[in-house]
Structure formats: C-alpha cells, structure tokens
Amino acid sequence: MSPSLPEPSAIGSDWSSNPNGGDANQSPSWQTTRDPAETNTGLVPIGCSGLKAIPAFPLARSVRQGQYVSGSLNAVVLLLEYDSAATASHFMAVFAAAIAHCPAPKTVTATTPYIRAITTTQASDVSIRDYWVEYGAGAGKTTWHEVVVRNGSKVGLGDVESAPGVTPDLEQLASALGRATSR
C-alpha cells in the first residue's frame, strides 16, 4: 500500500492542494505517482556551482508526489519508498553530500550566471533541513525551505516556497512526513 501524502494543512493554514501543479496538460489530481528515474533527475540541485558530477541517487521502488499552493507560493512533497532501510539511508547520504556543494557566490553582478545556494541547517541519517536562494540571471525572489525525513525504507521530502525573509514553520510538515513514512 502506498503511503498517503500529507494534507495541505500540514504545510500551513493558508495552503491548499494544487491540482496538476497548475499545468492543464498533467493529471487533474494534486497527488500523482512519478517515475523513479525521472524523480532522481529532478532531485539534482541545478545551479550548484560546486557540484561537479551528477549525484548517484539510488532508485526508489515507488514515488508519490503532492503539489500545494498558497497564493503565488508553491510546495511539493515526495514520498519515496526504497527496497530497504539501507538503500533509503544511502539516499540520505547522497542527498546531503549533493546539497553541501551549493555555496553562495562571493559576489553577484549583472553578468553572474544563475546560481542556487543551499544552506544545510541539519543533516543526519534520518533528517535533513535546508533552505535555498537563487542568485544571478533568472533568479527568483523567494526562498525554498526543505525538510527530508527517513523512516526505515521510506523517505519523505517537502519543499516549501516562502516570501523573502519569511521562514515557514516546518515542524508540522516534518511530523506529517514522519507519519506518512511510518505507514
């Protein structure tokens, strides 16, 4: 049985489900099953100046995705199920190592290319917390906050977009991901 995705209220009171992620060409549901190989490609932190090779994420057995919205802000939750706790633990190690290679640029000018800077605030075998901001050409103005939890062979990953200077309360989402990965 696939784990259930957290309800929008797990992200915050103003969040709702976002059918098809706003893309009418996709599934009309806010909950979708994703291809594990495609998911791994999407997990590569694009724009990380220190990342010299594509991370070798282990392939999940199944992936569920939920899409959420609050005004112009977005959030995404992934529930990844691996063949074993050891494989899920390996995912956590590879993910933590990948995001550790995304420093902020020393200077930003009009010609600075797009750079994603990720700051890790917590990393262990069972929990990762980080946030990222963008610099240079095409950079967004928002900050993304991420919480990743592992429970046995399951991993829950939530990305929440916030306005500049606002840090969302991720404890409720972390708890919901913990419950979703325990089923």
Report the pLDDT value the prediction gives residue 20, as an integer from 0 to 100: 62
Enumerate the domain spans of the chain: 27-181
Average pLDDT of the chain is 91
What are the percentages of helix, strand and coil residues in the chain, rounded to 5? Answer: 20, 35, 45
The tens digit of pLDDT for each residue in 87-125 reads 999 999 999 999 999 999 999 988 999 999 999 999 999
Report the pLDDT value the prediction gives residue 147, as an integer from 0 to 100: 97
Report the pLDDT value the prediction gives residue 58, as an integer from 0 to 100: 97
Instruction: Give the separation between CA 122 and CA 18, rounded to whole angstroms.
Output: 29
Residue 47 pLDDT > 50, yes or no? yes
Report the pLDDT value the prediction gives residue 31, as an integer from 0 to 100: 82
- The yes/no answer on whether domain 27-181 falls in CATH 3.40.50.300 is no
DSSP character for 173? Answer: H
Report the pLDDT value the prediction gives residue 94, as an integer from 0 to 100: 97
Average pLDDT over residues 56-68: 95
Average pLDDT over residues 128-157: 95
Residue type at 93 in one-letter notation: A
